Chains A and B, each alone.
Chain A
Amino acid sequence: DQQVKQNSPSLSVQEGRISILNCDYTNSMFDYFLWYKKYPAEGPTFLISISSIKDKNEDGRFTVFLNKSAKHLSLHIVPSQPGDSAVYFCAAAGQTGANNLFFGTGTRLTVIP
């Protein structure tokens, strides 16, 4: 049973506009969330994370929002750039540093020049 869900398999956005990638989770014990980015033929790379004690974390063009009551998090990319085109995975863990991360199925973002 998928505990972390990314319901949009793909998203297309015009360059310069905002990209919003969504992620839902079912396990209320998750308290640490991460986003990874993956280019074809490469391994995923860490992008940004958020702990459950926060509702927002920002790093440059990337912001992650966490809504614990809705069990929902989102990644905002502003402004979107063609180099952001990749597959984005969200992941969740039951405790900070816990060994097992639960990954979503990924969303393929295409930024159109």
Chain B
Amino acid sequence: DVKVTQSSRYLVKRTGEKVFLECVQDMDHENMFWYRQDPGLGLRLIYFSYDVKMKEKGDIPEGYSVSREKKERFSLILESASTNQTSMYLCASRDSTNTGELFFGEGSRLTVL
């Protein structure tokens, strides 16, 4: 079974703090994604990566950056957290076959005070 692991299930941070969300997948997938889920807005794509050191902006990249130094690991960085970044963050991965199916981690719920 594909496993996508997010390092923190729950985080509480203060405004202005730097936040790292880590994601690791164990199926050698080329593509990795970061989404955020908010009530009434569904899942929105922040960034994705199709290869090591490669990244592409999604629909809502402002206030975020990402890092993919190794194939299995994709990190989401909030340089200076703000209260409007309080959300559920979901990491996903997918291989390069044409199915579109994403495998998600369990999510990281971030609260910014």
Contact = CB atoms under 8 A, between A and B. Distances in A.
Interface of A: 2, 4, 6, 9, 32, 34, 36, 41-46, 49, 89, 91, 93, 96-101, 103-106
B4 interface: yes
B99 A49 contact: yes
B100 A96 contact: yes
A101 B45 contact: yes
A97 B90 contact: no
B99 to A, nearest CB: 7
A104 to B, nearest CB: 5
Contacts of B56: 99
**Residue with the highest number of chain B CB atoms closer than 10 Å, among A43, A91, A93, A98:** A43
A104 B44 CA distance: 9
Contacts of A100: 45, 48, 58-59
B100 A34 contact: yes
Nearest to A2: B42
Given A49-B99, A99-B31, A105-B40, 12 more contacts: A2-B42, A6-B42, A9-B40, A34-B101, A42-B106, A44-B104, A46-B102, A91-B43, A97-B99, A99-B48, A99-B50, A100-B58
B42 A43 contact: no
Interface in B37-74: 40-45, 48, 50, 56, 58-59
Interface of B: 4, 9, 31, 33, 35, 40-45, 48, 50, 56, 58-59, 90, 92, 96-107
Contacts of B107: 41-43
Contacts of B33: 99
14 contacts: A34-B101, A42-B106, A44-B90, A46-B102, A91-B43, A93-B100, A97-B98, A99-B33, A99-B56, A100-B48, A100-B59, A101-B102, A103-B42, A105-B40
